[in-house]
Amino acid sequence: MSRIGIFLDRDGTINQEVDYLRSPDELHLLEGAAAGIRELNQCGCRVFVITNQSGIARGLLTEQQLDAIHQKLRSELKAENAYLDAIYYCPHHPEGNPPYRMVCDCRKPNTGMIDRAVKEFQVDIKQSFVVGDRLLDIQTGKNVGAQTILVLTGYGKQELQYCSDHNVQIDFVAENLYDAVTHIKNVIHCEPHNTLSK
C-alpha cells in the first residue's frame, strides 16, 4: 500500500476552517480527523497535506509562523497515534508581495505539490486520492489523474452546490474526513493493522 498517496487539504478538511489561520492557537482538529489519518497510516498509505497558504504572500503570516502551526498539527496527530508523511504548502500568489508574488506551479489547482510527493515518495498517482472541501481540491485531483473526494466540512456544502450547478464530476462525496477514509479503505481493500506511529 505504500505507493498509494492520500493528499489532504488542510483547512476545513483536517482542522476547522479559519479565515487565514495565523496562529497555532487557532488550529483545532475536526472530529474524527486524527482517527481517519491513523487508519490510513495503519493501511500503509502515504498521507500528505497539500495546502495553499497565500496568507504568506499577502503578508498575513510568515513561513516561520506557518511552521509553528504545522508543528502543532503534527503534535495533535501524534497524540492520537497518527502522523503525516509530509506537509507541502504553496506560499505564492500572483498579486502578493515579493518574493512570493508569482504565478507558480504549486498553487492548487496546479499540481506542483503533488508532483513533489510523487517524486520524493514514489507514489502511484493512479491509485491515489485527493481529499478536500473546495472545488480547487477536486480540480487538482483531476489534473493529476487521482481519485477525488469532496468532504462536506469547511466550505464543502457550498462547493458541492457549485460543482453540481457546473457539472463538475466528483468521484465521492463524504460527510467528513473519517467518512472519506472509510470509502478509501473500501476501494483499496484495506483492513487496518496496528503499526508503530512515527
CB 155 within 8 Å of CB 10: no
Catalytic residue among 11, 85, 133, 179: 11
Catalytic annotation on 137? no
Pairing of strands 86-90, 129-132: unpaired
Please report, for residues 119, 137, 164, 169, the alpha-carbon distance to residue 159 in angstroms, rounded to integers and kept in the order given.
30, 10, 8, 12
Which sign does the torsion angle of CA 33, 172, 20, 83 carry? positive
How far is Cα of residue 95 from the mean position of the Cα atoms in its chain?
A: 24
Catalytic residue among 9, 133, 137, 179: 9
Catalytic annotation on 67? no
- Cα-only R_g, the chain: 16
3-state helix, strand, coil in the chain (%, to 5): 40, 15, 45
The label of the residue with cell 477525488 reads 148
Residue 143: Cβ-neighbour burial (10 angstroms; 0-12, 13-18, 19+)? middle
Supply the residues annotated as catalytic.
9, 11
